[in-house]
Amino acid sequence: MKKEFDFSTSFIFAYLRGKAEVTERDIKLDMPNTIAHIIPMGVQNQVIPLRNISSASAGLSIRGIFILIGIAFLMLTKFSFSLINSPSDFFQWLLFPFLCILSFMHAFVFVPAIQRSGNDYFIQVPFYESKKLHELNDAITEALNYEADKTDIIKNVNPRLDEQTAIAKEQLEITKAQKEQQDEQTELLKQIAENK
């Protein structure tokens, strides 16, 4: 069982992409490191063993700072309406509403959380990537269930092995006792044969 997921980590900058891989043993995450959520600076690799994960959840989150930025651009848009005097101002009039819409769209993010021993691990992705991250969440849940079933099978097999080991020990002791009896009988027969 190996499932891979590739997703965008930024609404505005599509080149910032993350990758997740769910296997039978662990979850591997490759998330981009950035400066100011714009300039990529390498990749953060994270490997989380399944036995350290207690659960996985997902939900929508709203980032207030981007809503405030969007409101600021909305105010600039309203202010720029009163200043349109030339065709070059028209470009400015289009720029502020565009930035306002981008800011509002960037405010809504989908946040899956991997609850593990220690700190929780959060992944923030744009809302349009929610389907992929729901699939990732389902894959993690499936892997956790598989790990739990595997552990249950081992727990159920161990008592049977203990029973079989006990039976084998008893049979070994019986065989040793029978061998001792045969040795005693052989000794008796030798003594009888020597006495004749």
DSSP 140: H
The strand pairing partners of 125, in sequence order, are 110
Residue-wise pLDDT tens digits, 107-161: 787 777 777 777 777 777 887 887 888 888 888 888 888 877 776 555 555 566 6
Residue 87, pLDDT score: 59
Tokens standing for residue 177: 């006792």
**Separation between Cα atoms, residue 12 and residue 108, nearest integer Å:** 12
Closest CA to 117 of 46, 43, 53, 50: 53
Question: Does pLDDT of 88 surpass 70?
Answer: no
**Separation between Cα atoms, residue 16 and residue 31, nearest integer Å:** 9
Mean pLDDT of 165-179: 79
Domain boundaries, the chain: 3-151
Residue type present at position 3: K
Closest CA to 52 of 119, 4, 1, 3: 119
Count Cα neighbours of 144 within 13 Å in the Cβ-side half-sphere.
Answer: 16
> CB neighbours of 121 closer than 8 A, spacing ≥ 6?
29, 46, 48, 113, 114
Question: Does pLDDT of 13 surpass 80?
Answer: no
Question: Does pLDDT of 73 surpass 80?
Answer: yes
Mean pLDDT of 165-177: 79
Question: Does pLDDT of 44 surpass 80?
Answer: yes
Going by pLDDT thresholds of 50, 70 and 90, the confidence category of residue 90 is: low
**Separation between Cα atoms, residue 58 and residue 154, nearest integer Å:** 31
Q: Does domain 3-151 correspond to CATH entry 2.30.29?
A: yes
